[in-house]
């Protein structure tokens, strides 16, 4: 008899979650040493590069304890960055318990708290694990105190481990099998399975990843997706042991995949319930809260011929990242594209990178913006997520922008720097808490627009990496908001427009002009770049032209080399956008919101 | 179809100039071996080309060859290849080599055009450029050439480097003009990869001029020589009359076939380009083993031919035929803009660069592609 345990690891970013997952995978012998690599659950190239987890990943670990009892441990890895808390809550819906991982040197951080709430909300068993105890700066007593005081958990229950060195792993496995209950649903009764993720396999179509809450499913069954009633014949079911591994069936309590020849990507919705067509359950499982995007930006293909390809790529992408929302959009400068909503700036960057790498799309993204609200003189209210639709200024009665409550936890010594940063970012109503000795929790009401604009990176810089940060949406507040346009060579580039607070407009415009000057290559003519509000120019920079660009000699032996260089430049030019007579590279559009640590 | 040209690369120099990126050895020990291999290479191409109407002896420094080697080489060419009666036969000459005997030999083997590598008439500048001759040597060589009855003399000059004053450059130009050369090549100093100058630039010991300064010097040079009646027919080349355009070099710029013999020489025929091994040793080894010394060849697609036609055309006053561009409205628009801003002119169905256009000739081709 094999027992099942479904669990997840939650932690603040960089507290060692993926390393612990690696260690558990090794300990249970799922992969031999030869095939092992770090961050083994992070399949995406970009996850490895950035050293972060973006997607939840499921893996089934076979485990036999000292008493000879057999277990199947379903581990769902989760991302730690604030932008991806949505992924965390989806992962938690398929678990009975969590390992709450805390860095022994860093202690409890903002995301630790946020993730703990999510786990408590789902009624999960919580096992605190203090990681990185091998670090010289580890302070186990301090962390234990924080667990008691800040989290309200029993610190005696905390397990000490070093995932890096492999100490304490046995204790972690024992806690998983002893403290986390088995799935409680009955094996009998009709099938109900919650879809918590999906992947696209070019050979097999859509691969649905789900947790079975009741009944069971096997190849040959006809399943029904409850949201739209579509039926599909099951071709294969199984579990993940780093690769897909077929099983005779998936039954209650298990986490695994179903392949059912679902060709239309949009048929599958994360959070939907799967049941048997012949024996359906009465009502669907409780799905997930719809996530509301907070950051908006438009995506355009670099070449307008690629519009259809981009549409297809976004469809497939969404299957794997339910948090992305998009709809058709068009711009005078960039042609047909899509207006997209994201969970945050990191989410946006990830989407951009994955579209380019995994889907081979060459895209341009516009300056991200939040959802503004305008009360007009005619009594109407308009929501504006795109600077293109900024209303005629004379009709604006009141302009409102979203505020968040930002929570920042830092060691005391960074208080001055963080206060300065928050005030600079229009933070108001500050509150200070002293959760434990030497640490400060600062809360500010801040415009969301200031946060999406490289706040997190700046915070990391001023606190030398010790600052942790989380935020919740608060409300809408009145502000003087104007539309800043950018003219390149006298032509307004709509994709570069932004809505900004009037007082911030000039510095923002200056920065934009300087950034564009760096990013737009020189041309044969002088290119003025101007920041404009209404008809008034508030900032300007100039790209000087090529004065001389010619080699002195070009005889028999130089021609091939010269042509190869031109062919390279020609290819480069294809990746740029012609606006009037100016070619603007992709990077110029991105540069307006990319961080620079100055 | 225009007659093809023949180029011979003589890969030897007395000293290596620190700015020069062409392939050559500073020792003549391999001359006999090279000459033997060269004869074999000539046989490889027997009957592969039409009758040539230009022969260009370049390098390297062809005038470092002993008189008898020069004679053997020319004899061999005349036996195995066909030449037009009024073939333009050019030799690149170093002032230091041009003794009375060498001058007479050059004339005697049939050279009717001599390109003298004067570079500068200022001894301090010559020292900087690492040349092995003085201004006086150049003057003597030029006098001797004229005295020998040479009616087509070209002078090569270098300008635009630190240490050369504007006055220094104008003085050099004036002294060159005193000999009323039929042809003038004025090269702005460039830092060719792997040359000593290039390495000095990388180490920060030598700084190129500012773009603005290079621009001003280029425009001034063009203006100065045009005022004196010279035709600025290619970016770095001037001629007193169209008949004195370098017939051979024009072939490089309009896809006329040419055969290049010797190490590192490039050849072109139809839509094929091929080139020889750079090293004298590898070149000789191949021929000694009865193999062609060709390192690589490429077959140009239509699109590549078009790109080259445009890029090369834009280096000469002739420009390229309008037939090379497509009638894409965006491109026509770009063309109109480039005309308005004075980079190009459209005359007789050809798109041709102005002097201002010459200055950015490496940028212009891209304007004709979306």
Domain of residue B146, CATH code: 3.20.20.70
Interchain proximity A560–B249, CB inside 8 Å = no
- Are B178 and B317 in a shared domain? no
Closest CA to B94 of B56, B57, B44, B132: B132
- Are B358 and B227 in a shared domain? no
- B344 vs A: CB within 8 A: no
- B218 vs A: CB within 8 A: yes
Per CB-CB distance under 8 Å, the chain A contacts of B212 are 547
DSSP letters, A137-163, are T--HHHHHHHIIIII---GGGPEE-BT
pLDDT for residue A421 = 92
pLDDT digits (tens, 9 = 90+) for A425-458: 899 988 898 877 778 889 999 999 888 877 877 8
Q: Judge whether residue A52 has pLDDT over 70.
A: no
Interchain proximity A554–B253, CB inside 8 Å = yes
CATH number at residue B308: 1.10.10
Nearest to B308 among A548, A552, A559 (CB): A559
Interchain proximity B275–A557, CB inside 8 Å = yes
Per CB-CB distance under 8 Å, the chain A contacts of B343 are 524
- A548 vs B: CB within 8 A: yes
- Are A359 and A382 in a shared domain? no
DSSP letters, A409-475, are EEEGGGHHHHHHHHHHTT-EEEEEE--STTEEEEEEEEEHHHHHTTHHHHHHHHTTT--EEEEEEEE
Q: Judge whether residue B293 has pLDDT over 50.
A: yes
Q: Tell whether B286 is covered by a domain.
A: no
Considering only alpha carbons, which residue of chain B is nearest residue A563?
B308
Nearest CA distance, A305 vs chain B (angstrom): 13
**Calpha distance A9→A100 (Å, rounded):** 6
Q: Tell whether B364 is covered by a domain.
A: yes
Q: Of the residues A428, A452, A479, which one is the last residue of a structural domain?
A: A479
CATH number at residue A162: 3.40.50.300
- Are A249 and A153 in a shared domain? no
- A377 vs B: CB within 8 A: no
- B360 vs A: CB within 8 A: yes
Confidence tier at A561 by pLDDT (50, 70, 90): very high
CATH number at residue A245: 2.40.30.10
Q: pLDDT exceeding 70 applies to what percent of chain A? A: 90
- Are A473 and A491 in a shared domain? no
Confidence tier at A80 by pLDDT (50, 70, 90): low
Per CB-CB distance under 8 Å, the chain B contacts of A548 are 211, 214-215, 218, 359-360
Average pLDDT of A276-293? 78
pLDDT for residue A48 = 55
Nearest to B298 among A552, A553, A560 (CB): A560
Average pLDDT of A180-209? 81
Range with lowest mean pLDDT among A224-228, A390-394, B237-241: A224-228
Bridge partners for A482 per DSSP: A500
DSSP letters, A305-368, are GGHHHHHHHHHHHHHH-TT-EEEEEEETTTEEEEEEEESSHHHHHHHHHHHHHTS---EEEPPP
pLDDT for residue A409 = 85
Q: Tell whether A597 is covered by a domain.
A: no
**Calpha distance A94→A464 (Å, rounded):** 36
- Are B354 and B225 in a shared domain? no
Interchain proximity B235–A550, CB inside 8 Å = yes
Q: Tell whether A285 is covered by a domain.
A: no
Q: What is the token pair recorded at B106?
A: 């050059």
- A233 vs B: CB within 8 A: no
Q: Tell whether A286 is covered by a domain.
A: no
Per CB-CB distance under 8 Å, the chain B contacts of A563 are 304, 307-308, 311
**Calpha distance A6→A167 (Å, rounded):** 22
Q: Judge whether residue A105 has pLDDT over 90.
A: no
- Are A201 and A325 in a shared domain? no
Alpha carbon distances (Å) from A171 to A3, A41, A65, A133, B362:
18, 22, 11, 14, 68
pLDDT for residue A195 = 84
Q: Tell whether A290 is covered by a domain.
A: no
Per CB-CB distance under 8 Å, the chain A contacts of B211 are 546-548
Per CB-CB distance under 8 Å, the chain A contacts of B273 are 559-560
- Are B247 and B306 in a shared domain? no
Structural domain range at position B327: 302-368
Nearest CA distance, B211 vs chain A (angstrom): 6
- Are B115 and B26 in a shared domain? yes
- Name the range with the highest mean pLDDT among A34-38, A317-321, A331-335, B264-268: B264-268
Q: Tell whether B226 is covered by a domain.
A: yes
Q: Of the residues B193, B228, B253, which one is the last residue of a structural domain?
A: B253
Q: Judge whether residue B324 has pLDDT over 80.
A: no
- Are A503 and A563 in a shared domain? yes
Average pLDDT of B56-68? 95
- Are B249 and B307 in a shared domain? no
- Are B39 and B149 in a shared domain? yes
- Are A38 and A160 in a shared domain? yes
Structural domain range at position A414: 372-479
- A556 vs B: CB within 8 A: yes
Bridge partners for A439 per DSSP: A411
**DSSP state at residue B121:** S
Interchain proximity A560–B215, CB inside 8 Å = no
Interchain proximity A556–B252, CB inside 8 Å = yes
- B8 vs A: CB within 8 A: no
pLDDT for residue A56 = 52
Per CB-CB distance under 8 Å, the chain B contacts of A554 are 235, 252-253, 312, 315
Per CB-CB distance under 8 Å, the chain B contacts of A556 are 7, 252, 258, 260, 265-268
Nearest CA distance, B338 vs chain A (angstrom): 9
- Are A80 and A173 in a shared domain? yes
pLDDT for residue B39 = 96
Considering only alpha carbons, which residue of chain A is nearest residue B268?
A556
Nearest to B360 among A550, A555, A556 (CB): A550
**Looking at the 3D structure of chain A, how many domains does it have?**
5
Nearest to B266 among A550, A557, A574 (CB): A557
Considering only alpha carbons, which residue of chain A is nearest residue B303?
A567
Q: Judge whether residue B175 has pLDDT over 70.
A: yes
Range with lowest mean pLDDT among A402-411, B47-56, B280-289: A402-411
Interchain proximity A569–B366, CB inside 8 Å = yes
**Angle CA B51–B55–B58, to nearest 5:** 150
pLDDT digits (tens, 9 = 90+) for A503-553: 889 988 999 999 999 999 999 999 999 999 988 999 999 999 999 999 999
**Calpha distance A121→A124 (Å, rounded):** 8
Q: Of the residues B236, B253, B270, which one is the last residue of a structural domain?
A: B253
Q: Tell whether B45 is covered by a domain.
A: yes
**Looking at the 3D structure of chain B, how many domains does it have?**
2
Range with lowest mean pLDDT among A37-46, A574-583, B116-125: A37-46
Interchain proximity B307–A569, CB inside 8 Å = no
Per CB-CB distance under 8 Å, the chain A contacts of B359 are 547-550
Per CB-CB distance under 8 Å, the chain A contacts of B218 are 548
pLDDT for residue A335 = 84
Q: Tell whether A288 is covered by a domain.
A: no
Average pLDDT of B256-280? 96
Q: Tell whether B293 is covered by a domain.
A: no
Q: Tell whether A598 is covered by a domain.
A: no
Helices and strands (H, E) in chain B, number of each type: 13, 15
**Contact status, residue A93 vs residue A452, Cβ threshold 8 Å:** no
- Are B140 and B233 in a shared domain? yes
- Are B224 and B163 in a shared domain? yes
Q: pLDDT exceeding 70 applies to what percent of chain B? A: 99
Q: Judge whether residue B81 has pLDDT over 70.
A: yes
| Residue A272 or residue A82, greater confidence | A272
Q: Tell whether B353 is covered by a domain.
A: yes
Average pLDDT of A386-400? 92
Cβ of B298: how many Cβ atoms within 10 Å? 15
**Contact status, residue B71 vs residue B23, Cβ threshold 8 Å:** no
Average pLDDT of chain A, as a whole number: 84
- A562 vs B: CB within 8 A: yes
Of the residues A304, A490, A557, A561, the best mutation for testing chain B's interface (the one with the most B CB atoms within 10 Å of its CB) is A557
Q: Which H/E stretch holds residue B70?
A: helix B67-80
- Are B244 and B157 in a shared domain? yes
* ipTM of the modeled complex: 0.94
- Are B231 and B331 in a shared domain? no
Q: Judge whether residue A83 has pLDDT over 70.
A: no
Per CB-CB distance under 8 Å, the chain A contacts of B363 are 524, 546, 549
Nearest CA distance, B334 vs chain A (angstrom): 8
Per CB-CB distance under 8 Å, the chain A contacts of B338 are 524
Q: What is the token pair recorded at A257?
A: 């995949």
Alpha carbon distances (Å) from A383 to A371, A476, B152:
7, 11, 79
Confidence tier at A598 by pLDDT (50, 70, 90): very low
DSSP letters, B252-272, are HHTT--EEEESTT-EEEETTE
Nearest CA distance, B179 vs chain A (angstrom): 24
Range with lowest mean pLDDT among A79-83, A456-460, A466-470: A79-83
- B335 vs A: CB within 8 A: no
- Are A462 and A505 in a shared domain? no
Q: Of the residues A127, A144, A179, which one is the last residue of a structural domain?
A: A179
pLDDT for residue A295 = 86
Nearest to A552 among B187, B330, B337 (CB): B187
**Calpha distance A321→A121 (Å, rounded):** 23
Q: Judge whether residue B62 has pLDDT over 80.
A: yes
Q: pLDDT exceeding 90 applies to what percent of chain A? A: 31
Non-local (6+) Cβ contacts of B352 within 8 A are B313, B317, B318, B319, B344, B345, B346
Confidence tier at A597 by pLDDT (50, 70, 90): very low
- B332 vs A: CB within 8 A: no
Average pLDDT of A556-573? 92
Q: Judge whether residue A331 has pLDDT over 70.
A: yes
- Are A351 and A232 in a shared domain? no
- A544 vs B: CB within 8 A: no
Give the SS3 label for residue B345. strand
Confidence tier at A576 by pLDDT (50, 70, 90): confident
Nearest CA distance, A86 vs chain B (angstrom): 43
Q: Tell whether B297 is covered by a domain.
A: no
Q: Of the residues A449, A479, A509, which one is the last residue of a structural domain?
A: A479
- Are A235 and A90 in a shared domain? no
- Are B104 and B180 in a shared domain? yes
pTM across the whole model: 0.70
Considering only alpha carbons, which residue of chain B is nearest residue A578?
B370
pLDDT for residue A287 = 67
Confidence tier at B1 by pLDDT (50, 70, 90): low
Considering only alpha carbons, which residue of chain A is nearest residue B337?
A581
């Amino acid at each position: 008899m094999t027992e099942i345990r479904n669990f997840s690891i939650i932690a603040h970013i960089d507290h060692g979650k993926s390393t612990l997952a690696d260690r558990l995978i090794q300990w249970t012998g799922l992969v031999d040493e030869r095939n092992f690599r770090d961050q083994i659950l992070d399949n995406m190239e970009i996850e490895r590069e950035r050293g972060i987890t973006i997607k939840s990943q499921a893996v089934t670990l076979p485990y036999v304890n000292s008493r000879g009892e057999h277990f199947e441990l379903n581990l769902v890895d989760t991302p730690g960055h604030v932008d991806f808390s949505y992924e965390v809550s989806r992962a938690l819906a398929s678990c009975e318990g969590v390992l709450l991982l805390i860095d022994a040197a860093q202690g409890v951080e903002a995301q630790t708290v946020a993730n703990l709430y999510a786990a408590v909300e789902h009624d999960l068993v919580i096992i605190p694990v203090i990681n990185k105890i091998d670090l010289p700066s580890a302070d186990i007593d301090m962390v234990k105190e924080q667990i008691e005081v800040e989290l309200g958990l029993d610190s005696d229950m905390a397990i000490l481990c070093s995932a890096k060195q492999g100490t304490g792993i046995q204790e972690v496995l024992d806690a998983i099998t002893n403290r986390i209950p088995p799935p409680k649903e009955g094996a009998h009764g009709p099938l109900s399975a919650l879809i918590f993720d999906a992947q696209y396999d070019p050979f097999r179509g859509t691969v649905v990843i789900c947790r079975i809450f009741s009944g069971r499913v096997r190849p040959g069954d006809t399943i029904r997706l409850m949201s739209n009633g579509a039926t599909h014949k099951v071709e294969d079911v199984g579990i993940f042991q780093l690769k897909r591994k077929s099983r005779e069936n998936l039954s209650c309590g298990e986490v695994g995949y179903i392949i059912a020849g679902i060709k239309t990507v949009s048929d599958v919705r994360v959070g939907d319930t799967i049941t048997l067509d012949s024996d359906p359950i009465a009502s669907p499982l409780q799905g997930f809260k719809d996530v509301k995007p907070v950051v908006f930006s438009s995506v355009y293909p670099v070449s307008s011929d690629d519009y259809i390809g981009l549409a297809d790529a976004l469809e497939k992408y969404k299957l794997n990242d339910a948090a992305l929302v998009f709809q058709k959009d068009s711009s005078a400068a960039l042609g047909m594209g899509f207006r997209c909503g994201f969970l945050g700036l990191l989410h946006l960057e990830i989407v951009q990178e994955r579209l380019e790498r995994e889907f081979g799309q060459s895209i341009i993204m516009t300056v991200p913006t939040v959802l503004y609200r305008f009360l007009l003189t005619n009594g109407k209210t308009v929501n504006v997520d795109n600077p293109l639709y900024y209303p005629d200024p004379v009709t604006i009665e009141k302009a409102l922008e979203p505020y968040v409550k930002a929570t920042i936890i830092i060691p005391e010594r960074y208080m001055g720097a963080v206060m300065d940063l928050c005030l600079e970012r229009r933070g108001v109503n500050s509150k200070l808490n002293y959760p434990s000795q030497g640490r400060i929790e600062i809360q500010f009401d801040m415009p969301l627009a200031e946060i999406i604009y490289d706040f997190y990176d700046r915070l990391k810089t001023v606190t030398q990496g010790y600052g942790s940060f989380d935020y919740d949406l608060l409300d809408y507040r009145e502000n003087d908001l104007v539309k800043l346009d950018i003219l390149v060579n006298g032509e307004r580039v709509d994709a570069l427009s932004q809505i900004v607070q009037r007082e911030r407009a000039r510095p923002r415009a200056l920065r934009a002009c300087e950034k564009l000057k760096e990013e737009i290559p020189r041309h044969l003519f002088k290119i003025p770049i101007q920041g404009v509000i209404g008809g008034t120019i508030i900032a300007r920079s100039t790209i000087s032209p090529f004065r001389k660009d010619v080699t002195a000699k070009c005889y028999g032996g130089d021609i091939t080399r010269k042509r190869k260089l031109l062919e390279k430049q020609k290819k480069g030019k294809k990746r740029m956008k012609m606006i009037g007579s100016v070619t603007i590279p992709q990077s110029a559009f991105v540069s307006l919101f990319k961080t620079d640590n100055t | 179809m225009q007659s093809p040209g023949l180029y011979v690369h003589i890969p030897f120099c007395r000293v290596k100039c620190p700015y020069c990126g062409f392939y050559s050895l500073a020792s003549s020990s391999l001359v006999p071996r090279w000459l033997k291999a060269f004869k074999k290479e000539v046989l490889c191409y027997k009957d592969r080309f039409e009758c040539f109407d230009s022969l260009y002896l370049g390098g390297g420094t062809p005038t470092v060859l002993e008189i008898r080697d020069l004679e053997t080489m020319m004899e061999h060419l005349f036996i195995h290849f066909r030449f037009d009666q009024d073939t333009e036969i050019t030799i690149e000459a170093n002032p230091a080599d041009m003794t009375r005997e060498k001058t007479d030999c050059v004339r005697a083997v049939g050279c009717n055009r001599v390109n003298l590598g004067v570079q500068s008439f200022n001894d301090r500048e010559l020292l900087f450029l690492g040349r092995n001759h003085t201004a006086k040597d150049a003057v003597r060589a030029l006098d001797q050439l004229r005295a020998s009855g040479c009616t087509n003399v070209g002078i090569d000059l270098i300008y635009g480097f630190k240490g050369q004053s504007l006055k220094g450059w104008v003085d050099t130009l004036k002294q060159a003009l005193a000999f009323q050369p039929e042809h003038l090549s004025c090269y702005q100093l460039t830092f060719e990869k792997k040359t000593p100058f290039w390495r000095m630039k990388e180490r920060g010991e030598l700084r190129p001029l500012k773009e603005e300064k290079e621009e001003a010097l280029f425009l001034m040079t063009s203006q100065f020589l045009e005022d004196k009646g010279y035709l600025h027919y290619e970016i770095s080349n001037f001629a007193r009359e169209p008949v004195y355009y370098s017939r051979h070099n024009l072939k490089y710029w309009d896809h006329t076939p040419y055969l290049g013999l010797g190490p590192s020489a490039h050849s072109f025929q139809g839509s094929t380009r091929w080139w020889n091994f750079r090293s004298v040793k590898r070149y000789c080894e191949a021929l000694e083993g009865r193999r062609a010394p060709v390192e690589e060849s490429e077959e140009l697609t239509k699109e590549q031919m078009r790109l080259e036609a445009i890029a090369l055309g834009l280096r000469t006053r002739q420009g390229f035929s309008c037939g090379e561009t497509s009638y894409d409205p965006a491109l026509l628009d770009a063309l109109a803009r480039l005309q308005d801003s004075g980079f190009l002119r459209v005359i007789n169905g050809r798109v041709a660069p102005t002097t201002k256009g010459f200055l950015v000739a490496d940028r212009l081709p891209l304007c004709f592609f979306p």
